Amino acid sequence: MVDFLSDSVLRLVYLVAAVLFIQGLRDMTHPRTAVRGNLTSAAGMLVAVVVTLLNFEILSPAVLVGGLAVGSLVGAGLGMTVDMTEMPQLVGAFNGFGGGASALVAGAELVARAGNGGAFPTDVAVAAAASGIIGAVTFTGSMVAAGKLHGVVTGSAIRYTGEQVVKALLLGVAVLAGGYLVVQPDLLSSVLQGSWVPAFWLLVAAAAVLGVMLVIPIGGADMPVVIALLNAYSGLAAAGTGFVLTNTALIIAGTLVGAAGFILTVIMCESMNRSLTNVLFGGFGEEASSEEMDDIYEGNITETSPAELEMLLDTADRVVVVPGYGMAVAQAQHAVAELSGLLDEDGVEVAFGIHPVAGRMPGHMNVLLAEADVPYDKMKELEEVNPTFSQTDVVIVTGANDVVNPRANEADGSPISGMPVLNVGDAGTVVVNKRSLSPGFSGIPNPLFAQDNTVMLFGDGKETMQEVVNEYKENR
Amino acid sequence: MTDLITNLTFFVLAAFLGYSIITKIPATLHTPLMSGANAITGITLVGAVVVAGSGSTTLATALGFLAVVMATINVVGGYLVSHIMLQDFHGGN
């Protein structure tokens, strides 16, 4: 087999795989071509794996096929059964497996080299240490993030004294162990050479604990940023593995993923007007004082009913729906989508205003709405929808809170000051569907609820929206 | 050393290329992008296959096997959920 495929051919095929990944990502720039893009990228992966299988003398095909079969079954099983609301934690967990695999490959390569008593060049040591640290942090960090999103790990920020010291110590241990791997080669005696591999596992262990310590103190609301960042890390870990094995396919693919992760991280941070440091090291979410809430809300809250909302919609020319994670939790997206479809049929202009951090992952709200058959061209981004609120008759805010809080536009030192928000208050009437007046993740009250043109539609998102749909159908 | 420089060249060029393509992807597709990109990290599978196949020591093979399992979960699951999500997007033009 080795003769059949020369090294040059192998490299050329990896180049083809890299081109397929790049073309696949290019096709992701539009929903029309995105399905094709995903398949193109998957084809690139298939080519890379198949050519690798053909080229290397696989001494234990049973082990390999077994691994592929187990992985495929688990991956496909999880993928087929997942609920769209739970997508972020699943993607987070998959991400963790990617990071874990990188750390293991680097470890296996070191073990193999040490076992052969072979050369152990500096660049291999640097890359192995890097992919070991990053891969292990990604693995445990992603699992904690997924656990927080799934509710098996508490979503609130767990702070402890000496937090930064503990993290710095763990990172220090990992880096020192990595440094030891790099400095070693021929200078040291054969006895010390035997300690390369244990040093690597010490590095992995310290990095694994570090991953947990990094994510545990971050609140559930910041998980979109954490998941994006960990995605970037897993890409870098794969690229690091590529350096260990001198494999261009791994380097290019890993780097592309790293770029995607970092870009999404930056977008998420900008959407919250927070720095990455603030997300990673600053807790988010203070307790709202009940006095402050009473001051704002007392006597200023107007309640409405599904029947009244239906009447408002009857006379409206333009309606904007602003969904938040509350809508997803209540599974109200299907009722909301049905309502928007009915309005559309009756000639009412309907749009969805989607804040970049609404949901548990970048773009999560769009996926939920798409699943409920909301057409892509009705989903508007913040910059696009904000100027249109003044020409909008009715805004329906469902399950969203902080992303429509006008206090973000004031420099009052609140946690959300300066965060770009949807200026729904500019519309004729704002209907807020929410179960209570409780504050959102930021923990601060929302003066929008007390505004003259705001009415509150209290109740469970799904039930309430379904009632509105029923009322609307009856009165058509 | 030449290898390292060549690898660095690939790394830097891929970073620029990735940046210019990915910034053009609309917010609506960010979740499928993330899970698709995530599936691409499963390319570590290639590395895992090489190591699992080299079979120089039992420990290396065992680690390689575990890496193959993890990377395959990532690849298969990632592409599959991206596909499921993307199929839901209608009405683009």
pLDDT of residue A2 exceeding 80, the answer is no
- Return the bridge partners of A458, or none: A434
Q: Is A396 helix (H, G, I), strand (E, B) or coil?
A: strand
CA A148 to CA A145: how far, in whole Å? Answer: 5
Among chain A residues, CA nearest to B67: A101
Residue-level pLDDT at A9: 86
Instruction: Name residue A329's amino acid.
Output: V
Edge-to-edge order in the sheet of strand A429-434 = A379-381, A349-354, A318-323, A394-398, A429-434, A454-458
Min distance B66 CA to chain A CA atoms (Å): 7
Binary contact (A94, B74; C-beta < 8 A) = yes
Residue-level pLDDT at A1: 44
Write out the two tokens for B71.
């990377």
The structure's pTM equals: 0.87
Asked if A99 and A138 touch (Cβ cutoff 8 Å), the reply is yes
Does residue B9 belong to the interface with chain A, where contact is any CB pair within 8 Å?
A: no
Asked if A360 and A325 touch (Cβ cutoff 8 Å), the reply is yes
CA B48 to CA A103: how far, in whole Å? Answer: 10
Q: Which of A295, A317, A402, A460 is catalytic?
A: A402
**Does the annotation count A377 as an active-site position?**
no
Pick A401 or A291 by higher pLDDT. Answer: A401
CA A99 to CA A261: how far, in whole Å? Answer: 13
Does residue B17 belong to the interface with chain A, where contact is any CB pair within 8 Å?
A: yes
Q: Tell me which DSSP letter residue A223 carries.
A: H
Q: Which residue of B22, B42, B83 is in closest CB contact with A259? A: B22
Helix H or strand E segment including A123: helix A122-150
Residue recorded with tokens 């993330």: B34
Average pLDDT rounded to a whole number, residues A318-336: 91
Q: Which residue of B26, B43, B92 is in closest CB contact with A253? A: B43
Average pLDDT rounded to a whole number, residues A142-160: 86
Looking at every residue in chain A, the average pLDDT score rounds to 87
Pick A366 or A122 by higher pLDDT. Answer: A366
Q: Is A320 helix (H, G, I), strand (E, B) or coil?
A: strand
Residue-level pLDDT at A4: 54
CA A142 to CA A138: how far, in whole Å? Answer: 6
pLDDT of residue A441 exceeding 50, the answer is yes
Lowest mean pLDDT across A21-25, A75-79, A221-225: A221-225
Residue-level pLDDT at A282: 64
Q: What would the pLDDT profile of A168-223 be if each residue is shown by its tens digit?
A: 999 999 999 998 888 765 555 555 556 777 889 999 999 999 999 999 988 877 88
CA A437 to CA A452: how far, in whole Å? Answer: 16
CA A200 to CA A223: how far, in whole Å? Answer: 30
Q: What would the pLDDT profile of A409-418 be if each residue is shown by its tens digit?
A: 887 777 788 8
Asked if A360 and A149 touch (Cβ cutoff 8 Å), the reply is yes
Q: Tell me which DSSP letter residue A323 carries.
A: E
Helix H or strand E segment including A456: strand A454-458
Q: What would the pLDDT profile of B20-76 be if each residue is shown by its tens digit?
A: 999 999 988 999 999 999 999 988 888 888 777 665 678 888 888 899 999 999 999
Residue-level pLDDT at A289: 62
Does residue A82 belong to the interface with chain B, where contact is any CB pair within 8 Å?
A: yes
Binary contact (A68, B68; C-beta < 8 A) = yes
Helix axes A7-27, A248-271, angle to 10 degrees: 20
Binary contact (A71, B70; C-beta < 8 A) = yes
Residue-level pLDDT at A192: 57
Asked if B56 and A115 touch (Cβ cutoff 8 Å), the reply is yes
Q: What would the pLDDT profile of A338-349 be if each residue is shown by its tens digit?
A: 999 999 999 999
Does residue A22 belong to the interface with chain B, where contact is any CB pair within 8 Å?
A: yes
pLDDT band at residue B93, thresholds of 50, 70 and 90?
A: very low
Q: What would the pLDDT profile of A265-323 be if each residue is shown by its tens digit?
A: 999 898 888 888 878 776 554 455 666 777 788 888 889 999 999 999 999 999 999 99
Average pLDDT rounded to a whole number, residues A81-94: 91
Among chain B residues, CA nearest to A47: B46
CA A414 to CA A398: how far, in whole Å? Answer: 23
The CA R_g of chain B, rounded to the nearest whole Å, is: 17
